[in-house]
Structure 1
């Protein structure tokens, strides 16, 4: 029977190099492939595909309608390892870890084009 293996979102960007630098330098991804207006980045089992695109006709940022969720184990430790690289981002681009009513602990980061990246960990009580 066929099996789904992984979801790898396309993230639209205005500058491929700026986004590669952001995801690699600030979020710990590695660029495994780059060609023309496309790059494939990964960190562990998580991967994203960056696609450089022309600006929108309406002037909105390319990431305004984009977001994706990365499930993690050890969210507070992950945040601590990324914290120094996120510290100099403008106010409002990072939301530190907090608990959601749907039993996830999350932190949020806006990338260079406004795509919202959620990091979350299941915090439901274990039997």
Structure 2
């Protein structure tokens, strides 16, 4: 049977350069490739594909109904390491670590186009 390597979500964006800067400067991703309206970013074993698109016809942000989850270890230390780069985001874009009823500790970040990025770790 063929081996599945990873899931790499497409994240829609209105400005490729602005989203690359957000994911790289604030969340620690590295940009591996860009061309026209496309970029490939990686953070350790996690990758995303940014795709610059025209605005939605309904006027909602491109990421309005998008989200993805990054499973991590040592979530509180990860959050503390990212916090200085997240503190100046507008209110409501970052939710500090908290415990979920489904036994995950998470923090959330909204990207430049409204995609919700979950970081989470199982509660032991």
In the alignment, the residues of structure 2 paired with residue 68 and residue 48 of structure 1 have an alpha-carbon distance, to the nearest angstrom, of 10
RMSD: 0.5
* Structure 1 unaligned spans of 5+: none
TM-score where L is the length of structure 1: 0.96
Mapping of residues 20-99 of structure 1, within 5 Å: 20-99=20-99
Count the aligned residue pairs.
124
Once the two structures are superposed, residues 27-63 of structure 1 have per-residue CA deviations (whole angstroms, 9 ceiling, x without a partner) of: 0000000000000000100000000000011111000
Give the deviation of 1:15 after TM superposition.
Answer: 0.1
1:5 deviates by 1.1
TM-score by length of 2: 0.99
Runs of 5+ in structure 2 lacking a partner?
none
Q: Deviations 1:53-98 (Å, cap 9, x if unpaired)? A: 0001111100001000000011001001100000000000000000
What is the SS of the residue equivalent to 1:63? coil
Structure 2 residue 120 is the aligned partner of structure 1 residue 120: yes
Equivalence for 2:6: 6
- Post-superposition, which runs of at least 4 consecutive aligned residues in structure 1 deviate over 6 A? none
Distance 2:99 2:58 in 1: 35
CA distance in 2, matches of 1:74, 1:7: 22
- For the residue of structure 2 that corresponds to 1:83, the secondary structure is helix
